[in-house]
Amino acid sequence: MFARDRQEAPEEMGVLRQKIDTVDAEIVRLLDERARFARRIGEIKREKGLDAYAPARERLVLDRVMSLSEGEFPRSGLEAVFREIISCSISLEARLKVAYLGPETTFTHEAARRSFGTSVEMAPRATVAEVFTNVERGEAQYGVVPVENSMEGAVAHTLDELMNSPLKICGEIYLPVSQNLLSKEESLGSVSRVFSHPMALSQVSSWLRRELPRARVEEVESTGEAARKAAREAGVAAVGSELAAEVYGLNVLARNIQDARANATRFIVLGKSWSEPTGRDKTSVVFSVKDRPGVLRDALASFAEEGINLTRIESRPSRKRAWTYVFFADFQGHPQEERVKRALMALEEHCPYVSVIGAYPEVSAEVFG
């Protein structure tokens, strides 16, 4: 009986594989058909002067795809597949260049790939300011930079650039940050120096003190630069991503060494204009307030009165006068909504300066893989 079962199993597998081949052929046919539609849409966009990248449309497509799924194919895999399909479609519509805070293999690189896929041209830049400048000059159509971390708070360089740039936030990405110890060495005992970006080092400080108390810790510009050093120099380890280990041929000596397990970074997509409304959006605004008691409470009261949820507020020195500050706020809603229009008008009554610096589809802040 057992021998007969073993004989029948390959026959059934053969039938199932034939069915998979038939499905694969249909998938390829439909992808070709989708590509033809995408090319035509690209032609229409060029004729009308419209952007090839449409975050609102992308969000609607992904939401619709998720709603169509019967659950057999993993949801995370389904989103990844369709994000790459969308990326390929964008490349058929127009040639896009995306600047990001590099070098390659940094978490910002990973965030850019998650947002745009792998079919667009990626351009690493050394600083946040260079990313802004590239997009402002039209050398890249979009930029991706970090804006805040769940452990370390706001990224000051990004906020400072947003204050003075004409660019708008048109998308956001939340990326779970898994820090790892990478090295050419085979064991922790061979590591005498550890390199990484200051923020990454602060996220793993307890682990380093406990596991590598004698190692010298040194800061570099990025986790990617740290991985390059680890690949070239004996006794050196880097704190960075598994992608960096793969690219630079490094061993992963320890995984998930960050002090807090719920560690995520929020990144923003920069463009010349904000996104169209989807019904589930977020708006970012920067404003200054008049110098009088209770003014910040009064300025923000309009959001509560309109039933608008503020998801973040951050202050930064204005850099124009000592001890004066500007405020960055994110809230749920889109500037085209009437309630948001009323709230912004009320905000202007209390503030000498108000600027909407972005509107984009809202992404869940849950840490996901």
Active site residues: 265, 267
DSSP secondary structure code for residue 333 in this structure: S
Q: Smallest Cα–Cα separation from 279: which of 198, 360, 182?
A: 360
Which residue, among 115, 92, 90, has the nearest Cα to 270 in the 3D structure?
115
Phi, psi of 290 (to 5 degrees): -70, 155
The 8-class DSSP code of residue 188 comes to G
User: How far apart, in whole angstroms, are the C-alpha atoms of residue 341 and residue 209?
Assistant: 51
Query: Which residues, 6+ apart, have CB-to-CB distance to 125 below 8 Å?
Result: 99, 100, 101, 102, 131, 134
Q: Which residue bears the tokens 């830049």?
A: 125
Strand-pairing partners, residue 148, are 154, 266
The one-letter amino acid at 326: V
Upper half-sphere CA count for residue 39 (Cβ side, 13 Å): 6
Cα–Cα distance measured from residue 229 to residue 223, given in angstroms and rounded to the nearest whole number: 10
C-beta of residue 107 within 8 angstroms of C-beta of residue 131: no
Rounded to a whole number of angstroms, the CA Rg of the chain reads 24
Q: Which two tokens stand for residue 74?
A: 């993993």
Query: What gap in Å lies between CA 140 and CA 136, rounded to an integer?
Result: 8
Provide the CB-side half-sphere exposure for 128 (13 A, CA).
Answer: 16
Could you list the beta-strand ranges (E) of the chain. 97-101, 121-125, 142-149, 153-154, 168-176, 180-183, 193-196, 216-219, 236-240, 251-254, 264-271, 281-288, 310-317, 325-332, 353-361
